[in-house]
Chain A
Amino acid sequence: MAVDEAWLEALLDGEAPSSAAPTAAMGKLARLQQAFAELQWAELDATAADAVSLFGWGHLEVRERIGHGGFGEVYRAFDPMLQREVALKLRRAGNQIAPAAGRAFIEEARRLAQVRHPHVLAVHGAAVHAGRAGIWTDLIAGETLAARIARDGPLSAEALLQMLLALSGALAAVHAKAIVHGDLTPNNVMCELASERYVLMDFGGGASLDEHGTARLLAGSLHFMAPEHLGSQRLGTAADMYALGATLVYAATRRKAAGDSGTQALSQRTDLSREFRQLVSRLLAQDPDARPNATEVRECSRDLLSAPDRRKRLRLRQALFLALTLAVIASVTGLLFTLHTRAQVEVERNRAVATRDFLLKMMQVPNPTQSMQSTQRLDVFFKRAVEALPAAFADDPQTEAMLLNQFARSLQILDQEDAALVALVRADQILSAAGVPITDPDRIDARDYLGTSYRLRRNFPAAIALDNEQAALCLGATPLPLRTCINIVNDQIQSIGYGGDPARALKLAETNLQRAHEGGLDADDRTTYTHFLQGIMQRDLGQSAVALESFLTLSELTLRSVPAEHPALFVGLAWLAWSADDLGDVELAMALNEYAAAAYAKLFGVDAHHSMPTRVQQATLAFQAGDSARARAIFRGLMKLPNRGVFASMHEHVAVQAALAGDQDISTEDLIAAEHSRLAAVGEDDRSLARLRLDLAALAIKRGQLAESAQMLQRLQGRGLRDDFQALQPMYWQLMRDLTLAAPEPDLTLAADASERVLAGLRQQQRRMFDPVTEQWVGDPVPGAAASLARIRAAAEKVYARRRTITQNHP
């Protein structure tokens, strides 16, 4: 093709217009150059605007004023030490503070900096520079609750509960550090845009911070102030609880109404449950002592959130959402495929349209979701849809299989495990009959879900058989990509490990990591998951110290691969919490669990089976920390979940834990009966059965039912407590000791021998253990525990520090 030299020179200088191009190809070049150049300029402008620094304050580069008020100004600033932007709140320049007041300000801010909670604005530091006291914190991209309500009107019932859960948790964390917020109002609650997270901020208004703060507080926050605040009494934590009540009234009604008038205003919201209104009314009590504390409110809000009808509606919506996004995704898929050929585009479009039409048709037959009141109707919808699929997609089996997979996931959300499994098996059969090769990514995906479904039902033999078939693909003539193979082995590790052979699973994990390393996939998310499984298996085998190393590596890798602010960042803290617990630091374990539990709830929903282990951990830790009431409350909430599908395997565990924490309504006999049916379902080799028997033995001793306890321990002594379950051995011997000592004439030699075995076991496993019978910690302090705990803290700190933020409209 001839090239026009002069025109090309003009193009090189960026001056060639596409309209006057000598050839079509040159025209395209010119358009491309122009488009890229425009992008460059747009980004350069944005970067330049970002980089402007107004002035320096201490080590911070102050970049932009983003808010101001009576207290002073708030700036967007860059912290080179944290390598990210922060919000810097500076006291008004003219307001030179007295040294004593300055010290108090700094001291208070430093105490605040110790509060680390997902719903409390993270304070990074406070100092005085150039005569101006300042405090720097996370920068939140969002708006205040007040601004949101002013724009969108009152919050929905569910959003109110979510906010209540967040803010009561935040206040519990703040009050635990003996700090009173002192100025909780809709102006001091941020709603983060990206995550819909509520964040409590602006402690600067607290009366203890400065003399001017009190004046501003009187002027600006009258409706949110507790009655005792108006007098001269010193503020207690109950004042914050009152302010929380008044904030809830405002969020529910857009009215600033406190006390009885607040309760009245709330009564007009008939969609709010009676329990919720009563709770707010208690918060607004005149007498500070009559108000519930933050921990109580948090537990209440959890219970309210998991109330059955609410849960059903929530699940219904999630399932509907899935079904509908499916239609959207199908049509987006069409757009994404506009790449190969026109024919393919047509195929994809037709597929998307057919899928959408099918869904719409199903939605209208005979309108099963009309009133959206019960999950039952949605079950019917999915069942009908599954039945109608073959006729609708007779000539397009791949789309039929894809829809079946989607429906299976929706059915899982509805706890319809059996129906989900049927759909998954059928999807696989359809793909197979259609001649879709077993190495096709769609098929591998479908079989991945199928394996997960088997595992969730604890049908490990079926899962293992499936995994083996998949693993064989990695050895074929044209092996699958390494990432896929690593994923398949991860499935194998789970099936084998959870199925009762952690030692073999651990070996597989190690081989998998080696392969990933050789293939350059060390930091891949699949490999990250292998580290997680490795840690779990090590811990099961009583290798606490090495398990900690795996969890620390996991934490590092998560930091690298998960985007900032994504809730998944915090998930790994649950495993670090286990390690902290093994080392005997319950307080640290509880703090880590708090983040992890919140992350799980956000990712999967508070009642989803994925969220269960952290909630169980939460309750267990509360029990260990001596807060049996809280433990029982959480366990009771968990017991309300349907006892079927994936929940069934956790149900007895939760019940027996609740009984151990003192729930007298649960009978030992019922639990022993549950143990029998579990044995019938999973066989002797199941680790969860061994664990259940230990817990049952503990419960029986605690309740003085020595014969039952001895019976349980005897069963374990046979096949049930194999060497593979080493982590359980110390508990077994501890219970032998407890049982011996509980006898009318205890054999002290036997008890001493058992004690010795407990200590030796724990020493070998480098951990401590909580005995639920005596409610005491057992085991020597672990050598090097302080250093290990420091490493856990440092890893957690890194995760917290990763919480990154953008803009903030203070105050």
Chain B
Amino acid sequence: MSFISRGFRGRRSRQPGAGLIPPGQHLVDGFPVLSAGPTPETALEDWDFTVVDETGATAARWTWEEFRALPSETPTVDIHCVTSWSKLDTSWEGVSVDTLLEDVETSAEYVLAFSDGDYTTNLPLEDVIDGRAWVAWGYDGDDLEPEHGGPARLLVPHLYFWKSAKWVRGLRLLDEDEPGFWEGLGYHNYGDPWRQQRYQGD
């Protein structure tokens, strides 16, 4: 039986009955900031979002103005970080990935999201369509802050939050799956919080 620190709870808040959270997760107050590098500082006039298809061709591209002119949604979702914190009923504003892929012809089965700062994360294409994912530019009624991924981040709430790539700049459609930054270093390739798929082999 390993040592227990008397009286230690960590940052987790006591909210019994607040809602169903996945196994091994705990609710937190606040919104922890986790980063693998410095916050990128891409100016909005230099920002774009591209969809690259499986042939390597740019299938779609939006500047910031064009992106913000797209129809947006305001999903309220629960989010779960692999480091064990969860937040329920977080409210976002952004463009559904379905909208971004509307005019894209593809037979790809996988997607690799890429961000400023060389971060990538991979997902099956079916996990980012049919209302399951957004590129979000607003959080909690305000512009998304840089430390939380602003100007825009991917939002894929049904998977662990490392899949919701901060500072996202585009999606690459792939015929074959390609592990991203954390998936290539021990984290689970899929990342379903309800099955505690944190590490490879889980």
Q: Do A and B bind each other?
A: no
Q: Measuring CB to CB, which residues of chain B are less than 8 angstroms from any residue of chain A?
A: none
Q: Measuring CB to CB, which residues of chain A are less than 8 angstroms from any residue of chain B?
A: none
